[in-house]
Structure 1
């Protein structure tokens, strides 16, 4: 999915504790809730030993508003108390994007 640049990416990298009860359900709820927030552009995620989730936003204000959203704050606290052994958040401005899909490519 191509987006108009520039936009912002929030990269959330984490490792989980042994207590991940309810984590998947909360992650799904947060993805659904984020998708309804003004300025939300998309989401990608992969989980192995280390999880990497990337959400895409139109503006830094949209990111700040999402961070301050009440249900998201509850999930953040639950993550700190129960689910995460470690996490790091990076916020990046995306200046350019391109992709490959067998048979086609897109350079923006």
Structure 2
């Protein structure tokens, strides 16, 4: 995912997921790809950006809070969350922010 998400004019929401991984790889890469594919199919999804070094940061963009809530409750996403808690992450934090302004070139 090397691209910067092409988001609409604000307002919209950003879900910022930061994490520190364990050494367990068991299906992680495949699940990460699947979650992006699945999120892109959800109502209200606007885009995603991700980077990983010692700390991973994934930012997904959503039209509204109801879309974020629906994504969090999606059955396949819930399974990914369960596996993340159990084996893939030492630590993580999720933050939700309202984007009020964006600019760039």
Q: What TM-score results when the alignment is normalised by the length of structure 1? A: 0.90
Structure 2 residue aligned with 1:28: 33
Structure 1 residue aligned with 2:95: 90
C-alpha separation between the residues in 2 aligned to 1:21 and 1:46? Answer: 20
The residue correspondences of 1:1-108 to structure 2 (distance < 5 A) are 1-100=6-105
What RMSD over aligned residues (CA atoms) do the two structures have, in Å? 0.7
Q: How far did residue 98 of structure 1 move?
A: 0.4
Whichever structure has more strand as a proportion of its residues is 1
Gaps of 5+ in 1: 101-108
Q: How far did residue 78 of structure 1 move?
A: 0.4
14-23 vs 40-49, greater mean Cα deviation: 14-23
Gaps of 5+ in 2: 1-5
Q: What TM-score results when the alignment is normalised by the length of structure 2? A: 0.93
Q: Which runs of 4+ in 1 moved over 4 A?
A: none
SS of aligned partner of 2:17? strand
SS of aligned partner of 1:98? coil
